[in-house]
Amino acid sequence: MSDAIKLEKVILAVLVRNEPGVLSRVTGLFTRRGYNIHSLAVGPTEDIRVSRITIVIEEAEERLEQVEKQLHKLVDVLKIVNLTNAQRVERELALIQVNGEKRSDILQIVDIFRAKIVDVSPREVMVEVTGDTEKIDALIQMLDGYGISEIVRTGKIALARSNQ
Amino acid sequence: MAKTGAEVLVSTLKDLDVEYVFGYPGGAVLPIYDALYGSSLKHILTRHEQGAAHAADGYARASGKVGVVIATSGPGATNLVTGLANAYMDSVPMVAITGQVQSGLIGKDSFQEADVFGITMPITKHNYLIKDENKIEAILKEAFYIASTGRPGPVLVDITKDALMNYVSKSGSKQRLELQGYRVLKEGHPRQIAIARKLIKEANKPLIYAGGGAQDASKLLLKLAENFNIPVTTTLMGIGAFPGNHELNLGMLGMHGTPWANLAVQNCDLLIAIGARFDDRVTGALNKFAEKAKIVHIDIDAAEIGKNVPAYVPIVGDANTVLTELIDDTRLSHKDWILEIQNFEFPAQTAKEPKRGDCVNCTEPNMHFAELPPPCRQKDSVDPKVVLELASSLFKNQLIVATDVGQNQMWAAQYIKIEKPRSFITSGGLGTMGYGLPAAIGAQLGRPKEQVVLVTGDGSIQMNIQELATIAAYNIPVKVVLLNNRVLGMVRQWQTIFYNGRYSQTCTGSIPDFCALANAYSIPSLRVKGLDDLDEFKVALKAEGPYFIEVAVDPDESVWPMVAPGASLCEMFHASKAPTPSWQRGQNDE
Ligand SMILES: Cc1ncc(C[n+]2csc(CCOP(=O)(O)OP(=O)(O)O)c2C)c(N)n1
């Protein structure tokens, strides 16, 4: 794709029937039609028959409508909520394994970010952080100087705030 | 009495009014075949699962009912893949039932195991894997519903052998969420319809562009065109949705469309698309397509609207429902516009024509048939349009045509005039060589009172030639018209135009002797080598049972006009070689 095309980041909450293969259907659709997935998180909902897939996609603006329409054609897709412009709470979770030599420095940073130390070993500490993408990016950047050995991040989840 | 999953499957098919199933047995579907034994459900045993899939597809297209195909696990099911992809591209309602290995053996690379559910996901409208016999009935009904409603399409149901063998318990409750996510919008938005109506009345140069989605709305399409005097162009899939000989029919548009249709698209000020999807073979260069027009796009699939071309007025809905609302009693005349179209000046653009006898690879010494006379040089041949126009008029345009893919397909589309919907059975979206013969079988069974004529090529027919056995075994009265140019004509034509006549691997030669082969299948045959044979040709077409007619065609015969891929529809090669338009044809062709 040429650089000239401006990509928009969009958050979609896709409610699907909790049937075998449904995640393959959704991701397969994205691959087949050449849409870019930025992140994806799946889990059960308040109704055991329904799962919720939160997808962050990066697409040229004029293709976004197509993405939603194509998703709607999947029989297992029950509902799509575009949360991009909604009042919402969004969270990601990350676990970061970082060199623990300068433990007090790290503790301070962890404190500022309201993160947590969840495991300690003689050489490393594991940090758990939740928040939006920017916050996690910022923490990772801060810890980078101390020597990060491993990172795992979930996809983003998001929920619209209820109306006043 | 308790029933097995397989018995429930067969009785459910009967409940769903299925008359024919096409299929091929094997280990995993033995329980189904046992349940079929002695059942009143008619099973057609094809000679290849691909044949069964295309036959079910042809049956569905011709009859409007859901086509059903059965295949065994592993290779049986993978043989359906082309047939499913083909039906998916052309929106054909089909239900494929495949056997799967026992549920306990899944995932262990068991004998004849293939992940058919995974393989067919992107080429079906929906698919299922059933491991629980108690779900068979409900899912099968759901599959038929999904296949046949909204924008139709193939649905695959993969069932494990144990689910087929186990006894279904009465209390088998279904812990499933109903089809909440599957909505079919029938009614178009009233405001959009009102805008469309207003635009139609204001337009000076309106044009209707009808696709496969207009096949079941042919009556209203005719009314729309006649009331408002709007010329109509159909896509390959739309042939028959509007009468072929109607004065307002400009013929097909697109790559091998008529100059009148293509130039009308480029000059209209309002384009009314009905059940059409702006495929690249239709539009040519997208950014130049219908440049001067506002587009009204009517389609039952919301995702089609705006997919390739932005719609000025989007209308999501069923063509019949929308057209009922759209048409009123106003009469319009677009005499000037229609005259303008009929008198279009064609740009004189000529393409490279093949140099006769230039086919290099038939003289290659290593060709196994080198001792035979050069296959491209036939002494006698017949112009394919003469043969096709004759067939068309012999049946007073009331025939059903199935085609294969290539030049034979385009010539059939250009020279046979189809008057009725669902009567031009062709692989449009996927362009599947080998589709024609089995599809003709299905179409003939779906419309037994009418005559199905297959127009095919020597390359295509050999991709499913084994189905001659099916024709013979069930005495299906299909008439095969093989336009034998001894080359892969359409590819060769591209080599002539775009590859300097370097005929790489497009010569199929004089093998086999098709008429002898047909006879070997106990089907009578006729070879048409010249105009003298045309009387016999007519007799063969009117024969009672099946007939195999081989027509000798010159390998250098080309399909014209042609718009090069990616070019604008105005840029046609050999526009002057187009078929005679409806308004210049005698009203009573024979
Ligand atoms: C399964 C498949 N393989 C390859 C092609 C590419 N292809 C398109 S037309 C054509 C030639 C068809 O030859 P034939 O059936 O003899 O018909 P003709 O064009 O000569 O009428 C080929 C190879 C195709 N459409 N389908």
Please check whether residues B228 and B329 belong to one and the same domain. yes
**Chain B residue nearest residue A79, CA to CA:** B181
- Tens of pLDDT, residue by residue over B509-560, are 888 999 999 999 999 999 999 999 999 999 999 999 999 999 999 988 999 9
Nearest to B306 among A17, A65, A77 (CB): A65
The reply to whether B573 belongs to the active site is no
Q: Which of B94, B252, B490, B572 is catalytic?
A: B490
Last residue of a domain, one of B284, B308, B342: B342
How far, in Å, CA of B61 to CA of B158, rounded? 23
Residues of chain B neighbouring A72 (CB-CB closer than 8 A): 302-303
Phi, psi (5° rounding) for residue B502? -85, 95
Burial A117-129 (b: 16+ CB within 10 A, else e): beeeeeebbbbeb
B287 reaches A (C-beta below 8 A): no
Whether B425 and B547 share a structural domain: yes
- B117 at A interface, C-beta within 8 A: yes
In sequence order, the β-bridge partners of residue B20 are B42
* Record: contact A76-B181, CB cut-off 8 A: yes
Q: Does residue B150 share a domain with residue B224?
A: no
Residue B509 and residue B402 share a domain? yes
As a residue count, chain B comes to 590
**Is B360 in CB contact (< 8 Å) with chain A?**
no
Do B302 and B216 share a domain, yes or no?
yes
How many domains, in total, are found in chain B? Answer: 3
For residues B449 and B397, the answer to whether their CB atoms sit within 8 Å is: no
B177 assigned to some structural domain: no
B587 in any annotated domain = no
Exposed e or buried b per residue across B120-134, where buried means at least 16 C-beta atoms within 10 angstroms of its C-beta: bbbbbbbbbbbbbbb
**Is the residue at B172 inside a domain?**
no
Q: To test ligand 1's pocket by mutation, which of B381, B460, B511 has the most ligand atoms within 8 angstroms of CB? A: B460
Look at residue B568 and tell me if it is in a domain.
no
Which among B290, B315, B342 is the end of a domain? B342
Is the minimum distance from the CB of B388 to ligand 1 under 6 angstroms? no
Structure-token match 């405001």, residue found: B191
Q: Are residues B132 and B220 in the same domain?
A: no
Lowest mean pLDDT among A10-14, B77-81, B504-508: B504-508
- B585 domain-assigned: no
Mean pLDDT to the nearest integer, A86-100: 95
Does B397 share its domain with B475? yes
- CATH number for B384: 3.40.50.970
DSSP H or E stretch at residue B445 = helix B436-446
Residue ranges of domains in chain A, CATH in brackets: 7-82 (3.30.70.260), 88-160 (3.30.70.1150)
The reply to whether B109 falls in a domain is yes
Beta pairing class for B270-274 and A124-131: unpaired
Residues A158 and A54: beta-carbon distance below 8 Å? yes
Q: Are residues B370 and B440 both part of a single domain?
A: yes
Residue B112 a catalytic site member:
yes
Cα(B269)–Cα(B257) distance, integer angstroms:
20
Other C-beta atoms within 10 Å of B475: how many?
A: 11
In the listed set B307, B342, B377, which residue is the last one of a domain according to the structure? B342
**Does B195 share its domain with B284?**
yes
Could you give the CA distance from residue A155 to residue B170 in angstroms, rounded to a whole number?
A: 44
- How much is the ipTM here? 0.89
Domain CATH number, residue B219:
3.40.50.1220
Active-site pick, B14, B42, B111, B505: B111
- HSE at residue B350, side-chain half, CA atoms within 13 A, is 5
What is the DSSP annotation of A29-68? HHHHHTPEEEEEEEEE-SSTTEEEEEEEEEEEHHHHHHHH
Residues B323 and B376 in one domain: no
Chain segment B490-508, per-residue pLDDT in tens: 999 999 899 888 888 898 8
Domain membership of residue B535 as a residue range: 360-559
Neighbour order of strands in the sheet with B400-403: B424-425, B400-403, B452-457, B479-484, B547-552, B525-528
Q: Say yes or no: B335 and B365 in one domain.
A: no
pLDDT of B57 higher than 90: yes
Predicted local confidence at residue A62, as pLDDT: 84
- Tell me the torsion sign for CA atoms B16, B20, B24, B27: positive
pLDDT tens digits for range B299-349 = 999 999 999 999 999 999 999 999 999 999 999 999 999 999 999 988 777
Interface of A with B (CB under 8 A): 16-21, 24-25, 28-29, 32, 49-50, 65-66, 69-70, 72-79
Any domain includes B347: no
Residue carrying the six token digits 């027919």: B461
pLDDT of B462-499, one tens digit each?
999 999 999 999 999 999 999 999 999 999 999 989 98
Residue B576 lies in a domain: no
Cα–Cα distance, B551 to B531 (Å, whole number): 11
Residues B385 and B497 in one domain: yes
Which chain B residue has its CA at the smallest distance from A30's CA? B122
d(CA B144, CA B182): 13
